[in-house]
């Protein structure tokens, strides 16, 4: 069991490293074009409540949804570290993942949910919804979701 958990955690770390490397090699022109949008959205979200961030998960713009998932992931880390309730963040992330079609946003949501594995706090109640949406997820998101599902129960 410990070997399986270590393998899952190792897969998450590899996936995150891959994502970080891909982000660093992104074309500068593309980065420059999205920087003002990301900065504006980020400055609006940084002090947002959890409920406000959850509402951003349904925004029309994929960048807004991606940033909201990232900020919720940061809050999820804090909640896991301090033994606070995580349901206000986890359930909306799972719900959003079941609807999301953008690969980057799917990956960010899955990445945020991956923190549950790191802290050993994966609730069994999210497994059915994650299992149901797994076949339509893009590869990177699907890999992380498999790790979350495997860690539950």
144 in Cβ contact with 122 (< 8 Å): no
pTM of structure = 0.76
109 in Cβ contact with 97 (< 8 Å): yes
User: In whole angstroms, what is the distance from residue 136 CA to residue 45 CA?
Assistant: 29
pLDDT tens figures, 52-63: 999 999 999 999
pLDDT tens figures, 70-89: 999 999 999 999 999 999 99
By residue range, what is the domain housing residue 81?
2-151
How confident is the model over 33-53, as a mean pLDDT? 76
Instruction: Provide φ and ψ at 4, rounded to 5°.
Output: -65, -45
How confident is the model over 78-103, as a mean pLDDT? 96
Domains of the chain: total: 1
| Portion of the chain with pLDDT greater than 90, in percent | 67
Domain with residue 55: its CATH number is 1.25.40
């Amino acid at each position: 069991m410990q070997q399986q958990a270590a393998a899952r955690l190792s897969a998450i770390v590899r996936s995150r490293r891959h994502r970080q490397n891909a982000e660093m090699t992104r074309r500068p022109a593309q980065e420059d074009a999205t920087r003002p949008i990301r900065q504006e959205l980020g400055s609006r979200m940084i002090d947002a409540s959890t409920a406000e961030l959850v509402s951003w998960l349904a925004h029309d713009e994929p960048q807004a949804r991606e940033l909201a998932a990232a900020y919720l992931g940061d809050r999820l880390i804090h909640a896991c570290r301090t033994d606070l309730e995580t349901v206000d963040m986890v359930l909306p992330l799972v719900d959003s993942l079941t609807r999301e079609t953008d690969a980057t946003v799917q990956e960010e949501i899955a990445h945020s949910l991956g923190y549950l594995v790191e802290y050993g706090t994966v609730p069994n109640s999210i497994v059915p919804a994650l299992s149901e949406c797994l076949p339509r997820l893009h590869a990177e998101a699907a890999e992380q979701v498999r790790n979350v599902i495997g860690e539950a129960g």
